[in-house]
């Protein structure tokens, strides 16, 4: 397992929700945590609570990621574990404005590319590093009512797989977190589809942090806090048409609930 005790850790979107739960878990495990968030007050509150450093900023821009990695490296010496966790949900279907599609692409996908661009040279030189991507079950399956989110989370999971496949033999460890509903502000704002599909089986952010911890201990790439996601994922691969028929029925239930 990546050693959390004493490790230098960065968490984007660490001021609330899943990121805050991961920050607390890692700090309790002896990690030295840098808490990034778009909301400076939220980052500062979590950093104060866990004895970490707040580095507010936008993890969805190239400059924001570059500045975060630079500030974290200066403070920690080395970044051992980087949790690229911040995400955004917005837009529904093809009519979603171009700027919202672009923002989803930047925050949900390119943030991971940019962070790894900054960190990989050091990790490969040292022969170790841990990169954690918070994707979503929407990145393995799909999220009804949220095309930009589903597409950019698929890209996030694809990028995490690519990194693991390319650099595992050179010491990089990658974990890809793919939960369904988690009780955070994001879920609260997920609308009718969220109500019908996610809220019934929603879990607490702490359960996601625990699932990440277990996956790290086992050296497992996929982090599935909802175990049933594995069944859906296997069904999707093995019998795509049956899976799509089930998704269509779910879509009809959402429309009936409107």
Q: How many C-beta atoms surround the C-beta of residue 237 within 10 A?
A: 10
Distances (CA, A) of 222 to 134, 158, 168, 235, 254: 10, 12, 14, 17, 29
Tell which residue, 132, 164, 137, 168, has the closest CA to residue 153: 137
Which of 36, 142, 150, 152 contacts ligand NAD by CB under 6 A? 36
CB 173, min distance to ligand NAD, A:
19
Nearer to ligand NAD, 13 or 145 (CB): 13
Edge-to-edge strand ranges of the sheet holding 8-11: 53-54, 32-35, 8-11, 81-84, 129-134, 172-177, 222-223
Which of 4, 11, 16, 47 contacts ligand NAD by CB under 6 A? 16
Instruction: Answer yes or no whether residue 17 interacts with ligand NAD by CB under 6 A.
Output: yes
Cα–Cα distance measured from residue 207 to residue 211, given in angstroms and rounded to the nearest whole number: 6
Helices 62-76 and 111-126 pack at an angle, to 10 degrees, of 30
Instruction: Answer yes or no whether residue 143 interacts with ligand NAD by CB under 6 A.
Output: no
CB 198, min distance to ligand NAD, A:
6
Instruction: Answer yes or no whether residue 160 interacts with ligand NAD by CB under 6 A.
Output: no
Whether 52 and 71 have beta carbons less than 8 Å apart is answered as: no
Residues 75-134 that bind ligand NAD (CB under 6 A): 85-88, 107, 134
Instruction: Answer yes or no whether residue 157 interacts with ligand NAD by CB under 6 A.
Output: no
Nearer to ligand NAD, 42 or 118 (CB): 42
Contact positions vs ligand NAD (CB under 6 A) = 12-13, 15-19, 36-39, 42, 58-60, 85-88, 107, 134, 136, 179, 181-182, 184-187
């Amino acid at each position: 397992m990546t050693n959390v005790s004493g490790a230098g850790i960065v968490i984007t979107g660490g001021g609330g929700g899943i990121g805050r739960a991961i920050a607390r878990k890692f700090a309790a495990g002896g990690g030295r945590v840098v808490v990034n968030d778009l909301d400076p007050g939220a980052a500062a509150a979590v950093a104060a609570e866990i004895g970490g450093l707040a580095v507010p900023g936008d993890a969805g821009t190239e400059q924001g990621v570059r500045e975060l990695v630079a500030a974290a490296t200066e403070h920690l010496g080395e970044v051992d574990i980087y949790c690229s966790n911040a995400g955004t949900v917005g837009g529904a279907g093809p009519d979603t404005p171009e700027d919202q599609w672009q923002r989803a692409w930047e925050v949900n996908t390119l943030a991971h590319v940019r962070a790894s661009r900054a960190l990989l040279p050091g990790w490969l030189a040292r022969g170790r590093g841990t990169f954690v991507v918070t994707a979503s079950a929407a990145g393995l399956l799909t999220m009804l009512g949220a095309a930009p989110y589903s597409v950019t989370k698929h890209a996030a999971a694809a990028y995490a797989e690519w990194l693991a496949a390319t650099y595992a033999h050179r010491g990089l460890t990658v974990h890809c977190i793919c939960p369904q509903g988690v009780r955070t502000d994001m879920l609260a704002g997920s609308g009718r589809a969220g109500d019908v599909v996610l809220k019934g089986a929603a879990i607490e952010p702490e359960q996601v942090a625990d699932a990440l911890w277990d996956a790290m201990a086992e050296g497992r790439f996929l982090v599935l806090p909802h175990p049933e996601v594995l069944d859906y994922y296997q069904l999707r691969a093995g019998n795509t048409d049956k899976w799509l028929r089930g998704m269509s029925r779910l879509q009809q239930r959402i429309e009936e609930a409107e």
